[in-house]
């Protein structure tokens, strides 16, 4: 009796890997190094974003002077060893003010992303699961989305006083419709899946179906959307502060710093350049994380080991 393999099994046996090599390959794909190789975009974005968070937390220790300290004798100085980013028109140290501005932007970005995601998830679930509310909620959402988010935030800020809390609330209200529409569409598609229909046929209560089947499967697109909302919120906050409708001028924020330096742009461009660079770098980092998560959470991705 011949022990040769069949013709159709020979190629498969030739390319088969020994089990130790398979296990070693899987170990290489685990850990921090493996994560960086598989998702370099997320790794770079998280590294830059983590650096910005450290700057915001350690601003009192990294700053050289009080960001609100006035020194007319040192006004409009260019960057040097004594003043790393130079000084503004009132003699305030730009380096310290830019560091403290990181706190404002990250606070607004993270807070708006969290609040808009939670409220949008709740409203979207109600709209998708309770049929008689769908038309009412969607018409309100359509009306809010017909207004650009920045204009809606400006209108809301015009009705209140300038403060960090009001900025967060105004930007959150402007971003909720985006999350609501996304959640509604995702939940409507999940609701018709066989495993949900099987749970309903087995007599599972609707709250349990929502918590065990619908919400977990809807989290991936919501998380990706939250990263883009975070980046958008930081830009909107900077615009609001730049036009004087955001946080008070006494609060060091990147928008306020750029607004105060726009009159001196041609002679002292560093007043705007440094906060603009920090804002651009932070928004880029958040967008990189969002793009990486979108690819990593895509169920159609090939490499899922």
In a domain, 11, yes or no: no
In a domain, 23, yes or no: no
In a domain, 74, yes or no: no
In a domain, 281, yes or no: yes
On whether the CB atoms of residues 164 and 247 are closer than 8 A, the answer is yes
In a domain, 26, yes or no: no
In a domain, 173, yes or no: yes
**Local confidence pLDDT in tens for the 305 residues of the chain:** 444 444 444 444 444 555 555 545 555 556 566 656 777 888 889 999 999 999 999 988 887 788 877 877 788 888 888 778 888 888 888 988 999 999 999 999 999 999 999 999 999 999 988 888 888 999 999 998 888 888 888 888 888 877 889 999 999 999 999 999 999 999 888 888 888 888 878 877 888 888 888 888 888 889 999 999 999 999 999 999 888 888 888 888 898 889 888 888 778 888 898 999 999 999 999 999 988 888 777 655 544 44
Start-end of H helices in 130-214: 131-145, 149-158, 164-191, 194-201, 206-209
In a domain, 42, yes or no: no
Domain count along the chain: 1
In a domain, 6, yes or no: no
On whether the CB atoms of residues 150 and 241 are closer than 8 A, the answer is no
Query: What tokens were used for 61?
Result: 């220790």
Range(s) of the domain holding residue 116 = 54-67+86-296
Task: Report the alpha-carbon angle 53-56-57, nearest 5.
Answer: 85
DSSP secondary structure letter of residue 83 = S
Residue 244 sits in a domain whose CATH number is 1.10.3720.10
């Amino acid at each position: 009796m011949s022990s040769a393999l069949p013709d159709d099994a020979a190629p498969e046996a030739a390319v088969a890997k020994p089990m130790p090599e398979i296990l070693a390959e899987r170990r290489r794909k685990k850990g921090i190094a493996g994560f960086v190789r598989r998702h370099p975009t997320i790794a770079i974005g998280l590294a830059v974003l983590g650096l910005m968070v450290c700057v915001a937390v350690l601003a009192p220790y990294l700053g050289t002077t009080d960001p609100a300290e006035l020194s007319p004798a040192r006004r409009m100085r260019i960057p040097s060893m004594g003043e790393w980013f130079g000084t503004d028109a009132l003699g305030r140290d730009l380096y310290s003010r830019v560091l403290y501005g990181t706190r404002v932007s990250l606070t607004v970005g993270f807070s708006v992303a969290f609040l808009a995601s939670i409220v949008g998830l709740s409203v979207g679930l109600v709209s998708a699961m309770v049929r008689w509310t769908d038309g009412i909620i969607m018409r309100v959402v359509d009306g809010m989305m017909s207004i650009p988010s920045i204009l809606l935030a400006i209108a809301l800020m015009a009705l209140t006083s300038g403060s960090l809390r009001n900025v967060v609330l105004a930007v959150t209200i402007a971003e909720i419709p985006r999350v609501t529409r996304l959640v509604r569409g995702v939940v409507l598609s999940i609701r018709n899946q066989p495993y949900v229909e099987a749970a309903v046929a087995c007599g599972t209560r609707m709250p349990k179906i929502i918590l065990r089947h619908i919400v977990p499967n809807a989290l991936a697109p919501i998380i990706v959307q939250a990263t883009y909302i975070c980046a958008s919120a930081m830009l909107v906050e900077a615009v609001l502060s730049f036009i004087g409708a955001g946080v008070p001028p006494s609060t060091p924020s990147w928008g306020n710093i750029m607004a105060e330096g726009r009159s001196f742009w041609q002679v002292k461009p560093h007043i705007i350049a440094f906060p603009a660079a920090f804002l651009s770098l932070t928004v880029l980092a958040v967008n990189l994380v969002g793009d990486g998560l979108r690819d990593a959470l895509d169920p159609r991705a090939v490499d899922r080991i």
